[in-house]
Structure 1
Amino acid sequence: MVLITVGPAKRLRTWRLVAETEECRILEAEMHGYKVVGIDVESEDRVAPCLRSLAEHGLLSCTPQSCMDSLEYCVVQSVSSSVLLAKCGDAALRLYLAHPVPGWEPVLLPLLAAMGAVPQVYGRLVFLGEPAGIVTEWVSGESLGDVAIREAEEYLLGGNSTWVARRAASLLADIHKSLAARGLVRHVCRARRDISERVEWYVSRLPRTIANELKNVVKKAAELPHMGLCLAEGPTHQDPHLYQFVARGNEVLIIDLVGEPFRYPGSSLVTEPLVRDLAVLLRSLSYAALLALKRSQELEGTKRRLAAEWLRASTEEALSAYNSRTSEVTTIDDYIAIGFFVAERLVYEAWYEYLYETGLLDIVVEAAKHKQLRPDV
């Protein structure tokens, strides 16, 4: 049998049977305050028959009903900690494997659809009254994460492009401007004590040896609560790293709106500073720089200096592109706060990479230890 979950969820022994048909079983477990869903099937190519059998038994519905017709010959492409992605002909199936699904997707999806920034939506899946997934057009393109790594690799060989940073930050800024135009953004003046609480929550779950590697970043994040800043807040994406963006010709689309998986409990349904999204994007550029450096097999010397240069140039490009489009929405306070949110995101990433054994924890630790290899803002 194949249990479609990843990381520690596979090792949970407290699965509870929720539904069963002749094609599959649906299981649930609790993990860090979230409900984790497991799809128990004979093989990955049985996911679509499983969903159709659930629909036939009245356990699963799709709105509009015709979207169930798209779920034929589905091939699983990837399984993350919170989403299963399958290609079903010309359709993409995204199943939620962690609940509650961040509450801002219903707000952001129509907004981004009007901007042409997301794939065409064919329908929504509901399982036993809860959001279970979404069916959209399949987007053939290249993720900006892969483009950024290639861009950084070319920089190590004499290139000078920072296109990814500019393009992704520009799209993020346009989204935030649209939120403000619809009255969904307000300036909130308060000390952001919840950030230090999040950092402490993540660090407390890491082995001491890893937590010690993060001490400089933790110290920077801890400074934030002592600053009274007025920040532009609204419904944010929460997790706009570069692998959430796909380039299709001249278009750049966002393909995932479910937010950070297994983030600090209780914080997924609140408004947050818009620039926290920008901080997530900047951290993603750091990943690209370090992965390019790692692939070069020359971790010190000239290549290391050039990787840091590309990151600095890309960070400046992203900040410039974002500021030029959001000057009527954000203030100097927002830009003061970016560095703190970069620090908070890095600590979250360390916990996530450790928890899911992704093999990328060393990338985060390297950025934590060396200031020039993380966004300097």
Structure 2
Amino acid sequence: MSDTSWSTSAARTGGAPGLRRAPAAGGELLDALLPLIHGWLPQQRWFSGKGRPITDIRVLSGTELAAPAGDSSGLVHLLLRVRHLGSGAGDTYQLLVGTRTTLPTSLAPALIGRIDGGAHDGLLVLDALHDPALAGRLLGHLRDGDRFSCLGFHRSPGAEIPTGLGPRVGTAEQSNTSVVFGDSLILKVFRRVSPGTNPDLELTLALAAAGSTRVPAPVGWFETVWPYGDGDGAGEPVTLGLLQRFLPGTADGWELALASVPEGDFTAESFLLGQATAEVHTALARALPVETLGETQIEGLADGMTARLEAAASAVPALQPYRTALRSAFQDLAELGHGGRTLPAQRVHGDLHLGQVLRTPDGWVLLDFEGEPAQPIEERRRPQPAVRDVAAMLRSFDYAARHHGAGPLAEAWAKRNRSAFLAGYATTGDHDPAGEHVLMRAFETDKAVYECLYEARHRPAWLPIPMSAIERLSASPSH
């Protein structure tokens, strides 16, 4: 396309200062791949620039993990800097690209395109995670702790990775891609990456080391070094994938909750989920540094919430009539700090909801400690009041209740389960969040504002769900 540029010069010649040359990934192949990727990328669930044309694709690194030989598949690991209208500096995406001379019918949905012309004429290009042979190669690299230039694979000490596990790509919609191996392991491959250790790896390792059974045990991971220039982030680790124990025979928290709406009794499970959440918070506070937020930091929290409200109200007209009332929630939070109150801050899940928890025969397990993917990684790694996770789960109960429509029975279901979750948390945690009216209102309001912006952009039909919370939270300062 005339308004799009792509470049592999950085991969071939070193590009910007500090940019690493892509070993064994030939520039001619990369030149042929990029036009195909340009058309395929916007169609992916995990691509953040939907609806905005791609203006530039640049290869930051390209590493050949498997060279094609005869009828065997080739495998190339790519980090791409992608710019689209409104993206500023752009986003960095991880792709694992497979190449084949022929493509089985079963892999047709994974096809990225066909190279026409040049030395690679006729070569078929696909999303390698959907190719069982190539996905199996990744698992083998994790098992053996292999290294390819700056791309390193690691196995957790004492962890075993069996051979002969058949891979399959998970079907759940998410911002990453997961591959399940047999009934033993699951590999999450992060699609949009940035410099710094991903919180999902960091917190999962910390919880496992602390002996927590509330997370699937980490088995391995792979990472690289940030290859972009010599400015911010240069030389930092970049988490690319996390391998964990797969938990068969479990039930998704969201599906379980939905099945009980509006008249079923889910309160016992909500109570246990509150306990499990408090256990995780306690373990994280013991395993990782904590902070105490004083007046200045609390005021900064409130200012950030206010700024997000103003930005969301500018984009979502339905929020406009509630701006003044909602701002009062954040002003009350700031007043806590002005009055001498301090708040403990620690590492938290950061994006907790019913879809991030599994019910196992032994209790609830929490997943996906990545945090909100749209936020910068340094913000996701920052200690925060644990009430943020609590408020987010309360919002999830509202979502479940109203998923199939509003009504008195659904509202009563949400109220019962919100109360049960808070009660369970209070029995195990070091405080009762139900008594923290100002904190709970501020954090729940902040979450509902975010939801309004998200739904308006991505799922307009769902906008009434968070708007119902906006009406409730603006009407009364009480939780």
Change (3 A) 1:265 1:73: closer
Equivalent position of 2:67 in the other structure = none
Is 1:6 the counterpart of 2:46 in the alignment?
Answer: yes
Aligned counterpart for 2:379 among listed residues 238, 254, 267: 267
Change (3 A) 1:86 1:339: same
Is 1:176 the counterpart of 2:281 in the alignment?
Answer: yes
Q: Distance in 1 between matches of 2:476 and 2:254?
A: 16
Aligned counterpart for 2:154 among listed residues 60, 63, 76: 63
Is 1:338 the counterpart of 2:445 in the alignment?
Answer: no
Aligned residue type for 1:362:
P
Q: Percent of aligned pairs with the same residue?
A: 19
The secondary structure found in structure 1 opposite 2:421 is: helix
Deviates more, 1:128-137 or 1:217-226: 217-226
Q: Normalized against structure 1, the TM-score is what?
A: 0.80
The structural deviation recorded for 1:76 is 3.8
Aligned counterpart for 2:82 among listed residues 29, 42, 66: 29
Q: Distance in 2 between matches of 1:202 and 1:37?
A: 29
Equivalent position of 1:49 in the other structure = 134
For residues 288-303 of structure 1, what are the structure 2 equivalents within 5 Å?
288-291=400-403, 293-294=404-405, 299=406
The secondary structure found in structure 2 opposite 1:278 is: helix
Q: Distance in 1 between matches of 2:475 and 2:257?
A: 15
Aligned counterpart for 1:84 among listed residues 177, 180, 185: 177
Equivalent position of 2:425 in the other structure = 322
Equivalent position of 1:112 in the other structure = 207
Q: Distance in 2 between matches of 1:266 and 1:33?
A: 17
Deviates more, 1:310-319 or 1:61-70: 61-70
Change (3 A) 1:79 1:252: same
Aligned counterpart for 1:215 among listed residues 317, 320, 323: 323
Aligned counterpart for 2:253 among listed residues 144, 158, 163: 144
Structure with greater helix percent = 1
Aligned counterpart for 1:285 among listed residues 388, 397, 400: 397
Equivalent position of 2:115 in the other structure = none
The structural deviation recorded for 1:373 is 12
Q: Distance in 2 between matches of 1:242 and 1:20?
A: 38
The secondary structure found in structure 1 opposite 2:425 is: helix
- What's the CA shift string for 1:250-305, capped at 9, x where partnerless? 322112111111137852221100111111111111111111x42xxxx4xxxx11
- What's the CA shift string for 1:43-75, capped at 9, x where partnerless? 561387279489785463320298596885342
CA contact under 8 A between 2:152 and 2:224: conserved in structure 1? yes
The structural deviation recorded for 1:86 is 1.9
Aligned counterpart for 1:362 among listed residues 437, 440, 464: 464
The secondary structure found in structure 1 opposite 2:294 is: strand
Q: Distance in 2 between matches of 1:97 and 1:76?
A: 14
Change (3 A) 1:24 1:249: same
Q: Distance in 2 between matches of 1:161 and 1:51?
A: 40
Aligned counterpart for 2:59 among listed residues 17, 22, 39: 17
Q: Distance in 2 between matches of 1:131 and 1:243?
A: 23
Change (3 A) 1:68 1:347: farther
Q: Distance in 1 between matches of 2:456 and 2:320?
A: 14
CA contact under 8 A between 2:455 and 2:463: conserved in structure 1? yes
Aligned counterpart for 2:187 among listed residues 74, 83, 93: 93
The structural deviation recorded for 1:32 is 7.5
Aligned residue type for 1:29:
V
Is 1:165 the counterpart of 2:274 in the alignment?
Answer: no
Instruction: Report the RMSD for the aligned CA atoms in angstroms.
Output: 3.7
Q: Distance in 1 between matches of 2:440 and 2:88?
A: 27
Is 1:197 the counterpart of 2:304 in the alignment?
Answer: yes
- What's the CA shift string for 1:200-239, capped at 9, x where partnerless? 2364255242442663773344322233132221111111
Q: Distance in 2 between matches of 1:142 and 1:341?
A: 28
Equivalent position of 1:226 in the other structure = 335
Q: Distance in 2 between matches of 1:241 and 1:196?
A: 25
CA contact under 8 A between 2:94 and 2:191: conserved in structure 1? yes
Q: Which runs of 5+ in 2 are unaligned?
A: 1-35, 65-73, 98-111, 113-125, 226-236
Aligned residue type for 2:260:
E
Length, aligned pairs only: 362
Q: Distance in 2 between matches of 1:281 and 1:373?
A: 21
Change (3 A) 1:96 1:202: farther
Q: Which runs of 5+ in 1 are unaligned?
A: none
**Greater radius of gyration (CA):** 2
- What's the CA shift string for 1:139-195, capped at 9, x where partnerless? 222111111112223x2xxx3331332122111111222234457444433233334
